[in-house]
Structure 1
Amino acid sequence: MDREKRIHHYYELVDAGDVPGLVELFAPEAVYRRPGYEPLVGRAALERFYREDRVIKEGRHALSAALVQEDGAAVHGTFEGTLHNGREVSLRFADFFTFSADGAFRTRDTFFFAPLV
């Protein structure tokens, strides 16, 4: 699977709740950094996050841009969904990925658009 398809497929799997499928897109030693969490290191930590720790119950990502290069990608989009506490959310996000030699995600960094300053 080429890198751009891998990016789009990742969000499809997240939205479908396919945790085993999305975790397989990451390298075994992958690192995911997300605001409010310690870095998630390795597939077991990623699986635990998506099954137990993620505050989002369900929703849908819509990508507005995905700039993909040989060793990394930058993604911008929106997310609309529901948290486990029942609150509806609608937000903009940016993700930055790096790839391993075989195309798996080596790192992912997520940023959310929120008025702080």
Structure 2
Amino acid sequence: MSVQDYRVLVERYYHSVDQNDLPTLFSLFDDQIIYKRPGYPVLAGKEQFMEFYKGTRIIESGAHTLTHILVDGDHVCVQGSFQGVLKDGRVIETEFADIFVIHDGKIVERHTYFDGIQV
């Protein structure tokens, strides 16, 4: 994969999340995905990952704004902000950084960091 391919893959992730396009979202991740997110136990495997997005995630809707995407080998680091609405009706805004590890065209690891409210 080229640097551009890596960028497009993670951009597709954020677009599919913001559009609530779960079939596309899930297609981007390896069956053995490891996902670390503050406030949640480590999600291991696509089943746990899918359950998080189908029900556990406290965000109802929102939009990501990406400010930086850095590619180094099979790692992609993203910095940006998120504005949205939680399932309890609260409107939130937070900054974030994500680190993705990609193998054979699929995301195999993701680690999210928040600067502000953790969602």
The two structures have a TM-score, normalised by structure 2, of: 0.91
Q: Which of 29, 36, 49 does residue 26 from structure 1 map onto?
A: 29
Which runs of structure 1 show a deviation greater than 3 angstroms over 4 or more consecutive aligned residues?
A: none
Partner-residue secondary structure (3-state), 1:20: helix
- Which stretch shows the higher mean deviation, 13-22 or 56-65? 13-22
**Equivalences for 1:84-99 in 2 at 5 Å?**
84-99=87-102
User: d(CA) in 1 for partners of 2:9 and 2:102?
Assistant: 10
Matches for 1:10-89 after TM superposition, within 5 Å: 10-89=13-92
Q: Read off the aligned partner of 1:75 and give its amino acid letter.
A: V
Please name the residue that 1:112 is paired with: 114
Across the aligned residues of Structure 1 and Structure 2, the Cα RMSD in angstroms comes to 1.3
Secondary structure (helix, strand or coil) at the match of 2:30 reads: strand
Deviation at 1:16, TM superposition (A): 0.5
Q: Which amino acid aligns with 2:110?
A: R
Give structure 2 stretches of 5+ with no counterpart. none
Give the Cα–Cα distance (whole angstroms) in 2 for the partners of residues 103 and 70 of structure 1.
Answer: 13
Identity %: 39
CA contact (8 A) 1:20 1:47 kept: no
Q: Which of the numbers 12, 20, 27 marks the counterpart of 1:9?
A: 12
